[in-house]
Structure 1
Amino acid sequence: MQSFFQSVIGEVFGVEPNESIPVHHVGGGCINQTGYFEFESQRYFLKWNEGVGDLFEKESRGLQLLGDAGVIKVPRVIGLGEVEGINYLCLEYLEPGRSSLRFWERFGEQLAGLHRNSSDQFGLDHDNHIGRLPQSNQWHSSWVDFFIKERLEPQLDMASGSGLVSARIRSQFDKLYNILPDLVPEEAPALLHGDLWSGNMMAAKGEVPAIFDPAVYYGHREAEMAFTKMFGGFDQQFYQSYHSSFPLQPGYEKRVQIFNLYPLLVHVNLFGSSYLSGIQQTLNYFTSD
């Protein structure tokens, strides 16, 4: 791998290093490997994988879109490409800081600021990914239509094709679709990170909130807030600060389960049927006669 790392550094900075520069591995998820290196007294973060297509190109576009909003820290893209058949993405290195109450307060305020960035419709001008799965972002004027056609149905089709979802569950989703307009209030499209769980955010140096690994689109902001609750890890001060800056509509807590049907289906397709119980519970609650 060392020749790969040296080639990446040379390609990104346009200068072949005079000596071997070590890349320090820091683990990775189920898709990418990650590490950091130092070049000319600066530290950089590196992600790489084999055969995941345009994943990094779409991630780069998402980071750019979030960064252009100018309200919350995202790592700058330094370079991306392919070397020796391996895809790479080089990013600004974010030095960890403290997760104080002040950090959570800022995070809530800044995420609310991000969500005030809007669009005429729900979706995005290109498709991207949620994890390693494709994420369709075709434009829709209605959130309910977008949620059904671009979020739930593609994941259900994938799960059905793998034999993970029964005909009964599909029937329950059809029932849910009929009542969704009465359950979910109208909102203007909001710029969302799209995959905001505790592993995709951090306190950077100076108690600065930072977000990364996005699955960006313009959606219903309650979908983002619900996602933060699925695995926990967000302090209550974060929610209080967000609500003070950009209040959510009454009854939000009851709708969290509905919005989290999407990430739960994603996890079914990525990791298997153990996530079906949460889906079944939500469907039973909202579609039982």
Structure 2
Amino acid sequence: MNTLWKSLPSDVVPDVVDAEPLSGGAVNDVWRLTLADGRAYVLKGSVEAPPDLFPLEAAGLRALHERAGIRTPQVFEVSAHHVLMEALHPRPDTDEFWEAAGRTFATLHTVRGDRFGWDTDGWLGLLPQENGWADDGHEFFAEHRIRRYLREPKVRRALEPADLAGLERICERLPQLVPTSPSVLNHGDLWRANIVADPAGEPVFLDPAVCWMWAESDLSMMYCCDPPPDRFFRAYEEISPLPDGWRDRMPLLHLREHLSVLAHFGTYGDTVARVRDVVRTFS
């Protein structure tokens, strides 16, 4: 990583005096670079990343900001191996912050699309996120968020034939399980670790995997993965009310994340058990 930041243009990051490792998940290295004049940047990179991963991440951040007006990090440089962004602040764990984050997230979901998908495939971790266009959200979720992962070798090794058959039944039953909803702009990978704060303490959204999809599918990550206080969801509904029963559907719509974990890491923690719980409940 030292070589990586030394390869950046000297007029962008001259005189790095400190490099602090940050949490970057299981895929990338992330560092906070401090310059001699006190300026700070965040450098996220990996020599193993697919060549379009960071350019697509930067494009996703730009889409969230330009289309929905929500705060995302300013990007200073992007290449096949890194993205250089503004350094931000840790997220304050206060009721006021979570309410602001809920309202901001809801604002994102007021931006409507006319189809489901995106104009290019993206990445979720180190595996492609398929975003092929569909006119029907149930078809899109079945094909590109469930069946897409059932082809992955690690998923097929982790799950038994009965599990796979149950997931296929869920795909067929989606129109009965999830109410028809419009396509809206999705962050695509939003959980609490992907929310930080700007200098004024307002929410900033990181690491998107953007697409046009249901609001509920986007919300499921926040609800099921280390959820924030309920004030977040109440504030969200002030801006963008959800259909009755949405909380009951969150585990179903979170299937994408469980299957992605299995596709990356194979049998991991209680992920297989969680998939089986969803199959028992919804198939």
TM-score norm. by structure 2 comes to 0.92
CA contact (8 A) 1:98 1:204 kept: no
Residues 245-271 of structure 1 show CA distances to partners (whole Å, capped at 9, x for unaligned) of: 110001111211210111111111122
> CA 1:20/1:170 → structure 2, altered by over 3 Å: closer, same or farther?
closer
Q: How does 1:164-243 map to 2 (within 5 A)?
A: 164-243=158-237
Candidates 42, 48, 52, aligned match of 1:51 = 48
CA contact (8 A) 1:156 1:165 kept: no
Answer yes or no: is 1:5 the counterpart of 2:1: no
CA contact (8 A) 2:73 2:206 kept: yes
What is the CA distance between 1:166 and its match in structure 2?
2.0
CA contact (8 A) 2:117 2:211 kept: yes
Contiguous gaps of at least 5 residues in structure 2: none
Amino acid aligned to 2:141 = F
| Identity score, percent | 27
What is the CA distance between 1:127 and its match in structure 2?
0.5
> CA 1:3/1:281 → structure 2, altered by over 3 Å: closer, same or farther?
closer
Q: Give the whole-Å Cα distance in 1 for the aligned partners of 2:16 and 2:189.
A: 36
RMSD of the alignment, in Å? 1.9
Amino acid aligned to 1:285 = T
Q: How many residues align?
A: 279
Q: Give the whole-Å Cα distance in 2 for the aligned partners of 1:184 and 1:20.
A: 51
> CA 1:30/1:97 → structure 2, altered by over 3 Å: closer, same or farther?
closer
What is the CA distance between 1:186 and its match in structure 2?
1.1
CA contact (8 A) 2:89 2:196 kept: no
CA contact (8 A) 1:129 1:135 kept: yes
Candidates 44, 60, 63, aligned match of 1:62 = 60
CA contact (8 A) 1:98 1:206 kept: no
Indicate the SS of the match to 1:255. helix
Amino acid aligned to 2:74 = R
Q: Give the whole-Å Cα distance in 2 for the aligned partners of 1:153 and 1:41.
A: 49
What is the CA distance between 1:3 and its match in structure 2?
4.2
CA contact (8 A) 1:71 1:110 kept: no
Q: Give the whole-Å Cα distance in 2 for the aligned partners of 1:93 and 1:20.
A: 14
Q: Give the whole-Å Cα distance in 1 for the aligned partners of 2:2 and 2:118.
A: 38
Q: Give the whole-Å Cα distance in 2 for the aligned partners of 1:226 and 1:28.
A: 21
> CA 1:100/1:228 → structure 2, altered by over 3 Å: closer, same or farther?
same
Amino acid aligned to 2:94 = S
1:42 alignment partner in structure 2: 39
Residues 93-120 of structure 1 show CA distances to partners (whole Å, capped at 9, x for unaligned) of: 1123533222111111111111111111
What is the CA distance between 1:67 and its match in structure 2?
1.2
Q: Give the whole-Å Cα distance in 2 for the aligned partners of 1:159 and 1:281.
A: 21
Contiguous gaps of at least 5 residues in structure 1: none
Answer yes or no: is 1:94 the counterpart of 2:111: no
TM-score norm. by structure 1 comes to 0.90
Indicate the SS of the match to 1:239. helix
Q: How does 1:31-180 map to 2 (within 5 A)?
A: 31-39=27-35, 40-53=37-50, 54-82=52-80, 87-96=81-90, 98-159=92-153, 162-180=156-174
> CA 1:232/1:216 → structure 2, altered by over 3 Å: closer, same or farther?
same
CA contact (8 A) 2:177 2:282 kept: no
Indicate the SS of the match to 2:257. helix
> CA 1:161/1:35 → structure 2, altered by over 3 Å: closer, same or farther?
closer
